[in-house]
Amino acid sequence: MEALLCQPQWRIIDQSAIGSHFHALQSFGTDDTLCASVGAGKAPATARTWVHHNTIVLGIQDTKLPFLQEGIDFLKHQGYQYIVRNSGGLAVVLDEGVLNISLIFPEAEKGIDINRGYDAMWQLVQQMFAEFPQQIEAREIVGSYCPGSYDLSIGGKKFAGISQRRLKRGVAVQIYLCVDGSGSQRAELIREFYKRAKQSETTKFAYPEIVPNVMASLSELYQTNFTIADVMLRLLNQLKLNSDFLYAGQLNEFELELLPGYYQRVVERNEKLEEM
């Protein structure tokens, strides 16, 4: 197991059941707050889980699409809201079948190498599903949305993507896990978004050509009806094995003071992009 996962304490902040009452902008403000807190030694290593309903999270590059408004209008017509995140990557789909996990680590004296952060999350997911014979690979899946070198896949079908956010000596390694539902239908939604937002224009940035059948959910890949609660239990069991003390917690006083400022920064960033 990656040594980074072995922490004296793991605090778990479970926001997976809040759903439609919790806006995605709050999530990214919360992770920034946790980075600052854990990085300052005001809190132990923290795992935060969250689920958002019908939300498309865009990357900065997506905001430069030549016909972005047409793409956004399509998403709204399909019943999706959208935000622009402050970590890397491109458009992803969040809905009630997608579990997001953020692992927030304190940076050591020498810092945490970026690949080490990715490896920690990859190995955590492998351990969560260790009883299944299928191998979970980490490599770019061409044709997926938000492709990257740490796409998690089984048999060439992607079910998860990992990103990182670094702030004030804190590192947030974030993953979205497509737990149930149709991976290809989610991919089709993003394919249509890019079709409308890019059209036939030539762009400096190479946006992905989405191939829906290269994406799937864990339920589809394992032929098992997983729920968010099932995967949450697997996560908790693994974190318990990798700490002397695992406990459920909420934001502490230090974090509650920081949160409004970090949340406002995320809101303002999105407002500026909308004005553009």
Taking the alpha carbons at both ends of the chain, their separation in whole angstroms is 45
By C-alpha distance, which of 105, 95, 73 is closest to 24?
A: 95
Residue 200 to residues 22, 122, 146, Cα–Cα distance (Å): 36, 36, 20
Coil, helix or strand at residue 195: helix
Q: Extract the tokens encoding 198.
A: 């890019």
Q: Is the dihedral of CA 248, 150, 97, 124 positive or negative?
A: negative
User: Which residue of the set 6, 35, 146, 178 is catalytic?
Assistant: 146
What's the CA gap between 59 and 88, in Å, rounded? 6
Buried/exposed 205-223: b ≥16 CB within 10 Å, e otherwise: eebbebebebbbbbbbbee
Pairing of strands 92-94, 81-84: unpaired
Count of CB atoms within 10 A of residue 257's CB?
Answer: 12
What's the CA gap between 276 and 272, in Å, rounded? 6
146 is catalytic: yes
Pairing of strands 55-58, 92-94: antiparallel
- Assess contact for 175 and 125: CB atoms under 8 A: yes
**Residue 220 falls in which region: left (phi positive, over 0), alpha (psi -120 to 50) or beta:** alpha
Catalytic residues: 146
